[in-house]
A = this chain, B = another copy of it.
Amino acid sequence: MTIHEVAARAGVSPATVSRFLRGQSVRSPEAIRAAVDELGYWPSAAAQSLKSGRTHTIGVVVPDITNPYFAAVVKGMESVTRTENYRILLANSDESSEREDHVLADMARRVDGVILAPATERDQTPLKLRDSKVPLVFIDRDLMEGDEFDAVLVDNVDGARQAVEHLLGLGHTRIAAINGPPDTTPGRRRREGFLAALTARGVGIAPEHDLIGDFRESSGYQLTLSLLSLPEPPTAIFTANNLMTLGALKALHDMRVDVPGRISLIGFDDLDTGPLLRPPLTVIDRPMVEQGVLAMRLLLRRLDPQYVDDIPRRIVLGVKLIDRASTAPPKGQHVPPPRARKARPA
The reply on A72 being an interface residue by CB < 8 A is: yes
Chain B proximity mask over A241-275: 1 for CB below 8 Å, otherwise 0: 00000100110011000000000000000011101
The reply on A55 being an interface residue by CB < 8 A is: yes
Partner of A88, one of B44, B91, B249: B91
Stretch at the interface among A9-17, A105-113, A161-169: A105-113
Chain B proximity mask over A44-58: 1 for CB below 8 Å, otherwise 0: 111101100001010
| A50 CB contacts on chain B under 8 angstroms | 44, 46-47, 50
* Interface band, chain A: 35 or more
Partner of A278, one of B46, B49, B276: B276
The reply on A75 being an interface residue by CB < 8 A is: yes
| A279 CB contacts on chain B under 8 angstroms | 278
Number of copies of this kind of chain in the complex: 2
The reply on A43 being an interface residue by CB < 8 A is: yes
The reply on A80 being an interface residue by CB < 8 A is: no
Looking across the interface, which residue of chain B has its beta carbon closest to that of A51?
B46
The reply on A312 being an interface residue by CB < 8 A is: no
The reply on A90 being an interface residue by CB < 8 A is: yes
CB distance from A38 to the nearest CB of B (A): 12
| A49 CB contacts on chain B under 8 angstroms | 45-46, 49
The reply on A131 being an interface residue by CB < 8 A is: yes
| A92 CB contacts on chain B under 8 angstroms | 75, 78
The reply on A229 being an interface residue by CB < 8 A is: no
The reply on A307 being an interface residue by CB < 8 A is: no
The reply on A87 being an interface residue by CB < 8 A is: yes
Stretch at the interface among A62-70, A180-188, A334-342: A62-70
13 additional contacts, CB 8 Å, given A42-B105, A89-B89?
A45-B55, A45-B109, A45-B110, A46-B47, A46-B55, A50-B50, A65-B78, A66-B75, A68-B68, A75-B92, A78-B90, A78-B91, A250-B275
